Amino acid sequence: MRPEHQKQEHTSSYYAASVNEVTDYPELEGAKSVDICVVGAGFTGVATALTLAERGFSVALIEANRIGWGASGRNGGQIINGMSGLAKLRKKHGDGIADMLWDLRWRGNEIIYDRIEKYGIQCDVKSGYVEVAPKPKQTAWFEEYAEERERHNFPYKYEIWDREETCSALGTEAFHGGFACFRDGHVHPLNLCIGEARAAHELGVQIFEQSPVVSIEHGKRPKVRTANGYVEADSVVLAGNAYSRLEPKHLSNLVFPAGSYIIATEPLPDDVVNEINPRDVAVCDVNEVVDYYRLSADKRLLYGGACNYSGRDPANIKSYILPRMLKVYPQLENVRIDYEWGGRIGVVLNRVIAAGRINNNVYYSHGYSGHGVCATHVMGEIMADAVSGTMERYDLFAGLEHMRVPGTQWIGNQLIALGMLFYKMKDRL
């Protein structure tokens, strides 16, 4: 096991600095026996554990570091409908699953909003998300978005913004139009993840932090071992995403880590906030390699993007991201940057979530390809369905063949980086 995955505290992000609760669940020691053992306490693992606990299962949740330590606690905080690869699932399984895919597309939003209300999770949730077009020809897509919602009698508010309205609403000349959806929104992701873990714990889930898993012994009741103990369970769910190193025989070179980076400004004065984002919406462009931003609860601009697929981190995150922010908002040139951080997202070559099982009772769900906040909650529910015997939605993903790149993970990352270079050039044309 690589040293970087052993017992680390949270990265120095704005989210970690503004967390509601510093978690301190015990390390795993000795032998435990439960119905289900979940490995990885990001959104997938926490959502799976909470769903199972709500259904009456006994659950152990094991985390190598802290709740939400990886991408779940570091991301852009955008609650965006959908998950990558749905079109490929429809192509494989046929048009008969179209309604099921539409429901899957929005299920993550439903789970998140419902749990925030049900469990009283304080995580700065706000409604409103806008996709923006850096190039004029991209605005044509927004009519398609609206037509799709009309066909499904979509009950929530959405709007198409022309260039003038987009410039006025976002205080920038960088975009030629936008599509606003108010069923989507934004949230403090680490506080959401910790709040859901707390809800799961109160329902009886045994949570263990600072407990890296060293091996899994397969069998009728697999044993998940750490340095100081083990959990025996009827089924195991692996939810490590980009940080998972377990089961290399079955899972190596399916998911490749890509770097994603964010900066956070100092709190902005009201006149600046009213200029650049008076409606307090989350924003993401529609390029293949996206930039995204939003305001935090204390009115910092959190700006991220320029995802790095090579496996190499930039020498300086601020220097990497700040020019992109200033291209959109040159008026923020003299604003102080208080936080800069990055992390890993799990990318799959065909952009479809890699879900399946090993030896009938060890399940996995990895590779959200940057669409994680909502998709992880959907897959948590699907994993809970599968381990309890309901396979309909699980089979959509498990039946899909994934390409495994021969050789090292480094080779895979370079192939992905080469492919994304094409899309970066396409974005610039």
Indicate which CATH number applies to the domain containing 62.
3.50.50.60
pLDDT recorded at residue 4: 42
- Structural domain includes residue 92: no
Question: Both tokens of residue 361?
Answer: 């009772």
How far apart (Å, rounded) are the C-alpha atoms in residues 99 and 107? 12
- Structural domain includes residue 183: no
- Structural domain includes residue 373: yes
What b/e string do you get for 281-312 counting C-beta neighbours within 10 Å, with b at 16 or more?
bbbbbbbebbbbbbbbbebbbbbbbbbbbebe
- Structural domain includes residue 239: yes
pLDDT recorded at residue 221: 98
Could you give the number of structural domains in the chain? 1
How far apart (Å, rounded) are the C-alpha atoms in residues 82 and 65? 28
Question: Both tokens of residue 135?
Answer: 């190039």
pLDDT recorded at residue 351: 83
pLDDT recorded at residue 383: 98
pLDDT means over runs of 10, the chain (429 residues): 62 97 97 98 98 98 97 96 92 95 97 98 98 97 97 98 98 98 98 98 98 97 98 97 83 82 98 98 93 98 82 84 97 98 86 93 92 95 97 92 61 50 47
- Structural domain includes residue 171: no
Contact (Cβ atoms closer than 8 angstroms) between residue 147 and residue 183? no
- Structural domain includes residue 322: no
The parent domain of residue 43 ranges over 3-75+190-247+352-407
Contact (Cβ atoms closer than 8 angstroms) between residue 338 and residue 265? yes
Q: How far is CA 380 from CA 75, 224, 332, 397, in A?
A: 18, 19, 39, 13
How crowded is residue 97: how many other Cβ atoms within 10 Å of its Cβ?
18
- Structural domain includes residue 380: yes
Query: What DSSP state is assigned to residue 282?
Result: E
How crowded is residue 428: how many other Cβ atoms within 10 Å of its Cβ?
10
How far apart (Å, rounded) are the C-alpha atoms in residues 287 and 222? 44
Sequence-distant (≥ 6) Cβ neighbours of residue 202 within 8 angstroms: none
- Structural domain includes residue 428: no
pLDDT recorded at residue 428: 53
Q: Which helix (H) or strand (E) holds 339?
A: strand 337-348
Q: Which helix (H) or strand (E) holds 365?
A: strand 362-366
Residue among 156, 155, 149, 140 at smallest CA distance from 102: 149
Question: Both tokens of residue 300?
Answer: 């910092």
pLDDT recorded at residue 3: 40
Question: Both tokens of residue 420?
Answer: 């994304």
pLDDT recorded at residue 420: 45
pLDDT recorded at residue 424: 43
Question: Both tokens of residue 124?
Answer: 């700065």
pLDDT recorded at residue 311: 61
pLDDT recorded at residue 416: 52
